[in-house]
Amino acid sequence: MEILLYQPQIPQNTGNIVRTCSVTGTALTLVKPLGFSVASRHLKRAGLDYWEEVNINYIDDVIEYLSVSSRPFYFFSSKASRPYTHIPFTQEDILVFGAETSGLPAILFDLFPEKFYTIPMQTGARCLNLSTSAAIVLYEGLRQLGFSYTR
């Protein structure tokens, strides 16, 4: 599996996701521009020594990246209505999460409306933290796969 973060803004969140990717053998793709430097001390602190253990890819264009991929991909947004548990996860999935401050761009909703899922929350509640959301969805996928390819 792969987690894709669209223009993440908070280094601690990305660092926590790096750690989650490390312990699960999950690749990470970051869509530029990032709201921080990858040399940030906060990023390294949150990611501890896991940063070097993760296959991290940097891209400029999420639409191009997903359009040329033959792998299944899913977007996660509080604006979607279908729960993430309805996804039949595979080992090839790309799990796409938006920026902490602005989410995913509207063009993605227009291009791929059938690919949007949500993590259920109470009506009127603020969104979950990005790193928490990524871990929830990733671990559901791993659970469905019987944790068969984790370390």
CA distances from residue 144 to 19, 119, 148 in whole angstroms, order as listed: 21, 16, 9
What average pLDDT does this structure show over 52-61?
Answer: 94
CATH 3.40.1280.10 is the classification of domain 2-144: yes
pLDDT in tens, 101-111: 999 999 999 99
pLDDT in tens, 74-114: 999 999 999 999 999 999 999 999 999 999 999 999 999 99
pTM of the shown model: 0.93
Q: Which of 92, 95, 91, 94 is nearest to 149 (CA)?
A: 91
Report how far residue 55's alpha carbon sits from residue 52's, in angstroms, rounded to the nearest whole number.
8
On whether the CB atoms of residues 31 and 59 are closer than 8 A, the answer is yes
Report how far residue 63's alpha carbon sits from residue 78's, in angstroms, rounded to the nearest whole number.
20
